[in-house]
Structure 1
Amino acid sequence: MRYNPKFALDDLAEMRRIVEENPFATMISDTPDGLVASHYAMMLDPERDDLTIIAHVGRPDEQLHGLGQRELLVVFAGPHGYISPGWYGDGTQVPTWNFTAVHLAGVPEILSAEENLRALDGLVHHFERHRPEPRLLWSPPNDPVAIERLEKGTVGFRLTPARVSAKRKLSQNKPPEVVETIIAELAGDGPFAHPQLAAEMRRVHPAAGE
């Protein structure tokens, strides 16, 4: 992403929050056969307090990406949406798109079969923990044979990023009254309503209307 100091995000806690809340990521590799992109759910490594992520791919995607052999770019996209120039008031204006994004780049570490199994278990628990009766990896009707077959069909990896790029373009270049109008439109029921984006903007502009 192009660096712009107005929209740069360098707060580790906020970047971790965006990854945590938007786990379905795009992973991109530059291979000898050209660019390759895949989409997988990922999670922060629960044993780390940085931006290290854990995930797995289904075979043979690890060969498609050359996983572990070259740099991998992983993109987490947060809330995003259209911003109409009609919300800016008078004057010459153009539409734009507000968004949040975190890019993590590095060479991933391939997990052993045992580590991959723990990662699969952790990923299932990570998402099922919100259900009153979670269906965990080892929950019936799954049995050891089925789980072993599942593990063999996947390749787990851990990525500790060597490069991080994060951005939140949320109308930081607009005056407070315009920001309030945008938030109100996004929080409303119009054709471009987006409550999650409105909430994300409120994190950046907590006192815009005061």
Structure 2
Amino acid sequence: MRQNPSFAMTDPAELRRVVERHPWATIVSAADDGLVASHYVVLLDDTRDDLTVVGHVGRPDDLIHGLGDRELLISFQGPHGYISPGWYGDVASVPTWNFVSVHLTGVPEILSDAENLRVLERMVDVFENRMPNPRGMWTLPNDEAFVQRLAVGTVGFRLTPTKVGAKRKLSQNKPLETVDEILVALEGSGAYANAELAAEMRRAHEVRRERQS
């Protein structure tokens, strides 16, 4: 991802927040017959306080990606959306797309069967605990035989990135008054209203406003 100092994200806490809130990731590697991409849930490693992540792939994706032997790029896509030039007022302008993205690159380690099972359990709990009646991985009618068959079909991994690229393009290069107008449109009810992107922009916008005050 080409970096731009105006849009760079470098705060580890902010990077962790984006990864935690947007766990549906794209895993990319250079396979023997060309580039390959897969899509899986990837979580922050809850035993670490850095950008180490854990996840799993279904067999035979582990072989396709050369899991554990080759470098992977894991891409997390945060809020994103269309920005109309009509929101900039009466100035020459073109459409653009605002977004937040985090790329983690490294060679993952393969988890043991016990570690993989723990990660699978945690993945279920992370999402099921939001439900009114959570169904954990071990909740009936699931039994041990079912869970073990499920686990055997997956390969868990842990990746501590050796390279991190992150970008937050949220109209930081526009006047504060213009950003206010963009936020009005995104928080409205029009064709390109986008409350999630607006919230991310407002977060960055308020920090910028404080720095310039």
User: Shorter-chain TM-score: what band?
Assistant: over 0.9
Q: Does 1:110 align with 2:117?
A: no
Q: Name the amino acid aligned to 1:77.
A: Q
Q: Percent identity?
A: 61
Alignment of 1:1-210 (within 5 A): 1-206=1-206, 208=209
Q: Name the amino acid aligned to 2:194.
A: H
C-alpha distance in 1 between matches for 2:198 and 2:133: 32
Q: Deviations over 1:76-113 (max 9, x none)?
A: 00000000111111121111000000000000010111
TM-score between the two structures when normalised by the length of structure 2 = 0.96
C-alpha distance in 2 between matches for 1:137 and 1:160: 26
Q: Which runs of 5+ in 1 are unaligned?
A: none
Query: How far does residue 42 in structure 1 lie from its aligned partner after superposition?
Result: 1.1
Q: Name the amino acid aligned to 1:178.
A: T
Query: How far does residue 206 in structure 1 lie from its aligned partner after superposition?
Result: 1.4
Query: How far does residue 3 in structure 1 lie from its aligned partner after superposition?
Result: 1.2
Q: Name the amino acid aligned to 2:16.
A: R
Query: How far does residue 132 in structure 1 lie from its aligned partner after superposition?
Result: 2.7
TM-score between the two structures when normalised by the length of structure 1 = 0.97
| Structure 1 segments of 4+ aligned residues over 2 angstroms from their partners | 207-210
Q: Which runs of 5+ in 2 are unaligned?
A: none
Query: How far does residue 56 in structure 1 lie from its aligned partner after superposition?
Result: 0.6
How many residue pairs get aligned? The number is 210
Query: How far does residue 129 in structure 1 lie from its aligned partner after superposition?
Result: 1.6
C-alpha distance in 1 between matches for 2:139 and 2:46: 22
